[in-house]
Chain A
Amino acid sequence: MATDTVFVRTHFEEPRPAPGRIGGVSHWLRRNLFATPGDAVLTILGILFLLWVVPPLFNYVIGHAVPPGGTVEQCRAEGAGACWAYIAARFSFFIYGFYPPAEYWRPNLVFFMLAVLITPLLIPRAPFKRLNAILFFVVFPVVSFYLLNGGVFGMPRVPTEQWGGLMVTLIISLVGIICSIPIGILLALGRQSKLPIIKTLCVMFIELWRAVPLITVLFMASIMLPLFMPSGTTIDKLLRALVGVTLFASAYLAEVVRGGLQALPRGQYEAAAALGLSYWKRTYFIILPQALRHVIPGIVNTFIALFKDTSLVSIVGIFDLLNTVQSASSDVNWISPTQTITGYLFAGMVFWIFCFGMSRYSLFMERRLDTGHKR
């Protein structure tokens, strides 16, 4: 019969084994380190490289290093690592330069004010932003100048030649950014202007400073600025560097702000004009608040670049952090084979901590400002 050929299942198929674990260490290893033979080779080479580099590096920086409080003899010993004792001994020089030790409380107070004012300014949710900004951008620089320079309220005057170290690095970068923000905004607005003369002037200014290296700007500021002033004027060396750094930074900042201005939809400009607001009201109330908000990451990145670039002022003879480290490396009391490298390690770590922190902040702001509907 035809029905004999009909296939009827009499038992269930054996269930297949469950798929291998998706999680777990071995799966992770297989997927991320040993996916293909080529990958495996790369991984093994990488591990060998780590074994080759990490132990000596660890021994140099920590294992065989001379901790703070050690003696120079320990640093001179055969096979000694980084001489942290030397850093500890010259620490105040790296932070304050030649600032008189009796007056260290003044820079300390400035550092403290800086920390207290800048922390809430950087936290987006912190209240009193306007007051905070006024305090930070206007009051703080003035107070700091009188505190550091002295000559008022019975504080002895400390000429800028004695300022140095991390203090000067921070001063130059903060003054650079605080002064360059308004100049940069004006330049960016000028570059967007419909008035041909103003636009040309702004473009020329921006492109000139962006085209030349900072070191020539600093040379120019330190050599030619005295020539440009009425005869008999003397300009402080630090002030010359500040002028150079500010001009340089404002050109870069102008381009960052221009990015923000161009990113605003035209409708914002048109709506503001339709309300009958004047140019400055339009700019101040409608355009800038939106444009600046969007370029906060860019401004922070400019600030990182500026912070690193302040190290160039050592070439025109200002004792910033790098210059103090460099000049301390010829300190005869601490001569040892590792003296120079330890100094560079220290300076590198300080710069790295500041710059890395700022770049994380810029990433955080970028994520916060990303509203999810990018066009």
Chain B
Amino acid sequence: MAVQDNMRSAPARTSLLNDPVFRGIIYQIVVAALVIAFFAWIAINTAQNLAAQNKSTGFDFLFRTAGFDISFTLFEWSRNSYYWQAFLAGLLNTLLVAVIGIVCATILGFTLGVARLSSNWLVSRFASVYIETIRNIPLLLQLFFWYFAVLKAMPAVRNSLAFPFDIYLNQRGLMIPRPLPDEQFGWVYIAIAVAILGAIGLSRWAKRRLDATGKRFPVLLAAIGLFIVVIGGTFLVSGASLSFDVPVLQRFNFAGGLQLPPELVALVFGLSIYTAAFIGENVRGGIQAVSHGQTEAAQSLGLKDGDRLRLVIIPQAMRVIVPPLTSQYLNLTKNSSLGAAIGYPELVNVFAGTTLNQTGKAIEVIAMTMGVYLVLSLLTSAFMNWYNSRVALVER
């Protein structure tokens, strides 16, 4: 009986010190106080140090004239440009390398991943030797190799290596023809946009029809046809013409064309080759993660090889591949900061390097640089979450 009485009464009183909720609050207050004290200590020290060095803080330096040269910018740059323009130039150069690198690394990486699973022994060996070699050597060393040992050792301008389509490679970088669209070309841009929208609409309609009636529609062929007809038609009707400004060897250097500096070429080479090895492994893992039963089930349903890949294997493999793929893209973007070591004027080089040295605004400059990468990273993880929620398995 006594036991039952005990059960009905209120839970035994414990000391407040042993109450987990109370303890949790105390712990958190202590930790928060320590962190705040730590930051306050840093802030006081920094203020004292800055005062001792007679330095001011604030972002007003952004609107002062930079007064240094940047070897490669995507917009007009002069010594009279402002520091915020230097920031922008660095940021744009970072994004430029990242975009080109991501495209190249994706193509190369998917090829490698598929090659590694090839039934051809020689091909799969090639892919694994490539991946094992490249992954285990530091990126910075590879960049040094491409820049100092390969591109700096290229022939001088007079003996440039000539490639088809007026492409030249020499010590001063890669010279490629520059496309020169004329005034009528605006119509073609509009046509491209229309064709893209049309293709999206077409695929949506085809999907809906497939869901409703089970009838397939050759979307890819139709979309290609749409592109050729709409864009080609506009091109002919509007009378637009596309000419190329080709690089021509003058007495001392090339004139005309688009001249890509060797730093950019080396950085794109190094980043794509390095990241492709990691992407290749992701792709291999993704394809292997689709169990063999899926292949067999698709075969027993009577699907053709192409349909089996397109409708059964690839959608499931992509679910595994895309999250690590986006983090590889983010890694590539972050690794583009190594361009600073070979003199490519990207964000870290122009801003955290030259600008910081000239203005001495260490805190502001480093904070802005880190902020850029932080924003890029947050955008990437936002995309990843969106994608994951879209493709996640719907479980009962």
A219 at the interface (CB under 8 A from B): yes
**Using a CB-CB cutoff of 8 Å, which residues 41-76 of chain B contact chain A?**
42, 45-46, 48-50, 52
- The answer for the CA separation of A352 and B145 in the assembled complex, in Å, is 15
Given A216-B352, A219-B348, A341-B149, A194 contacting B24 (CB threshold 8 A)? yes
Cβ-defined contact, A213 with B373, below 8 A? yes
Main secondary structure of the interface of B (DSSP, over half): helix
Given A196-B28, A212-B373, A46 contacting B123 (CB threshold 8 A)? yes
Cβ-defined contact, A213 with B337, below 8 A? yes
Cβ-defined contact, A33 with B121, below 8 A? yes
Cβ-defined contact, B137 with A352, below 8 A? yes
- The answer for the CA separation of A175 and B376 in the assembled complex, in Å, is 30
Which residues of chain A are within 8 angstroms of B370 by Cβ–Cβ distance? 208, 211-212, 216, 220
A230 → chain B, closest Cβ, in Å?
5
Cβ-defined contact, A220 with B31, below 8 A? no
Cβ-defined contact, B31 with A197, below 8 A? yes
Cβ-defined contact, A224 with B122, below 8 A? no
Cβ-defined contact, A216 with B45, below 8 A? no
**Using a CB-CB cutoff of 8 Å, which residues 301-353 of chain B contact chain A?**
334-335, 337-338, 340-341, 348, 352
- The answer for the CA separation of A351 and B140 in the assembled complex, in Å, is 12
A121 at the interface (CB under 8 A from B): no
Query: Interface with B: A106-114, A127-135, A307-315, which one?
Result: A307-315
A42 at the interface (CB under 8 A from B): yes
Which single residue of chain A is at the shortest CB-CB distance from B378? A211
Which residues of chain B are within 8 angstroms of A213 by Cβ–Cβ distance? 334-335, 337-338, 348, 373
Cβ-defined contact, B337 with A352, below 8 A? no
- 8 Å CB contact of B356 from A43, A223, A226, A356: A223
A264 at the interface (CB under 8 A from B): no
B83 → chain A, closest Cβ, in Å?
17
Cβ-defined contact, B362 with A315, below 8 A? no
A188 at the interface (CB under 8 A from B): no
Which single residue of chain B is at the shortest CB-CB distance from A312? B140
Which residues of chain B are within 8 angstroms of A309 by Cβ–Cβ distance? 138
A192 at the interface (CB under 8 A from B): no
B363 at the interface (CB under 8 A from A): yes
Which single residue of chain B is at the shortest CB-CB distance from A342? B149
Cβ-defined contact, B138 with A231, below 8 A? no
Which residues of chain B are within 8 angstroms of A352 by Cβ–Cβ distance? 133, 136-137
Which single residue of chain A is at the shortest CB-CB distance from B24? A195
Which single residue of chain A is at the shortest CB-CB distance from B48? A231
Cβ-defined contact, A340 with B149, below 8 A? yes
Which residues of chain A are within 8 angstroms of B348 by Cβ–Cβ distance? 213, 215-216, 219
B386 at the interface (CB under 8 A from A): no
Cβ-defined contact, A231 with B141, below 8 A? no
Cβ-defined contact, B46 with A33, below 8 A? no
Per-residue contact bits, chain B 352-396, to A (CB 8 Å; 1 contact, 0 not): 100010000011001001100110111000000000000000000
B132 → chain A, closest Cβ, in Å?
7
**Using a CB-CB cutoff of 8 Å, which residues 114-145 of chain A contact chain B?**
none
**Using a CB-CB cutoff of 8 Å, which residues 17-48 of chain A contact chain B?**
32-33, 35, 39, 42-43, 46-47
Cβ-defined contact, B137 with A219, below 8 A? no
Cβ-defined contact, B35 with A201, below 8 A? yes
- The answer for the CA separation of A122 and B335 in the assembled complex, in Å, is 31
Which residues of chain A are within 8 angstroms of B338 by Cβ–Cβ distance? 213, 215, 312
Cβ-defined contact, B137 with A351, below 8 A? yes
- The answer for the CA separation of A47 and B119 in the assembled complex, in Å, is 16
Given A32-B119, A46-B122, A224-B362, A229 contacting B149 (CB threshold 8 A)? no
Given A213-B334, A223-B356, A227-B46, A347 contacting B141 (CB threshold 8 A)? yes
A322 at the interface (CB under 8 A from B): yes
**Using a CB-CB cutoff of 8 Å, which residues 41-76 of chain A contact chain B?**
42-43, 46-47, 49
Which residues of chain A are within 8 angstroms of B334 by Cβ–Cβ distance? 212-213
Cβ-defined contact, A351 with B123, below 8 A? no
A296 at the interface (CB under 8 A from B): no
Cβ-defined contact, B149 with A231, below 8 A? no
Cβ-defined contact, A210 with B352, below 8 A? no
B254 at the interface (CB under 8 A from A): no
A302 at the interface (CB under 8 A from B): no
B217 at the interface (CB under 8 A from A): no
**Using a CB-CB cutoff of 8 Å, which residues 310-338 of chain A contact chain B?**
311-312, 314-315, 322, 326, 329
Cβ-defined contact, B49 with A227, below 8 A? yes
A198 at the interface (CB under 8 A from B): yes
A160 at the interface (CB under 8 A from B): no
Per-residue contact bits, chain B 88-124, to A (CB 8 Å; 1 contact, 0 not): 0000000000000000000000000000001111110
Give 15 CB contacts A-B under 8 Å: A35-B120, A42-B118, A43-B120, A195-B28, A197-B32, A207-B377, A213-B373, A216-B337, A216-B373, A219-B352, A223-B362, A231-B52, A308-B136, A314-B140, A356-B136
Q: Apart from A33-B121, A43-B122, A312-B140, what 20 extra A-B contacts exist at CB < 8 Å?
A: A33-B122, A35-B119, A194-B24, A207-B377, A213-B335, A213-B348, A215-B338, A215-B340, A219-B369, A227-B46, A230-B45, A231-B52, A308-B138, A341-B149, A344-B141, A344-B144, A344-B148, A348-B141, A351-B141, A359-B132
A residues in contact (CB < 8 Å) with B: 32-33, 35, 39, 42-43, 46-47, 49, 194-198, 201, 207-208, 210-213, 215-216, 219-220, 223-224, 226-231, 304, 308-309, 311-312, 314-315, 322, 326, 329, 340-341, 344, 347-348, 351-352, 355-356, 359
